[in-house]
Amino acid sequence: MVTRLSHFFLRTLREDPADAEVTSHRLLVRAGYIRRQAPGVFAWLPLGLRVKGKIEQIVREEMAAAGAYEVHFPALLPREPYEATGRWEEYGDALFRLQDRKGADYLLAPTHEEVFTLLVKDLYSSYKDLPLSIYQIQDKYRDEARPRAGLLRGREFTMKDAYSFDYTDAGLDASYQAQRDAYERIFQRLGLEYVIVQADAGAMGGSRSEEFLHPTPVGEDTFVRSAGGYAANVEAFTTVVPDPIPFDGLPAPVIFDSPNTPTIETLVAHCNAHLDGEYTAADTLKNVVLALTHLDGTRELVVVGLPGDRDIDDKRVEVAFAPAAVEPATEADFAANPLLVKGYIGPWSEKGPILGEESATGIRYFLDPRVVDGTAWITGANIDQKHVARLVAGRDFTADAFVEVATVRAGDPAPDGSGPV
Mention every residue, 6+ apart, whose C-beta is less than 8 A from residue 389. 253, 254, 256, 271, 275, 376, 378
What is the reported pLDDT for 57? 98
Q: Which residues contact 5 (CB under 8 A, 6 or more apart)?
A: none
Q: What is the pLDDT of residues 293-335, one digit of tens each?
A: 998 889 999 999 999 999 999 999 999 998 888 999 999 999 9
Of 86, 166, 160, 84, nearest in space to 120 by CA: 166
pLDDT score for 360: 39
Contact in structure between 235 and 316 (CB atoms under 8 Å): yes
Q: Is-cis flag, bond preceding 131, omega within 30?
A: yes
Query: What's the average model confidence in pLDDT over 200-215?
Result: 78
CA separation (Å) from 15 to 18, 27, 174, 219? 9, 10, 50, 23
Instruction: State phi, psi for 116 to the nearest 5 degrees.
Output: -60, -45
With cut-offs at 50, 70 and 90, classify the pLDDT of residue 243: very high
DSSP assignment letter at 317:
H
Please list the residues that pair with 338 across neighbouring strands: none
338-370 pLDDT per residue, tens: 889 999 999 998 776 555 444 535 689 999 999
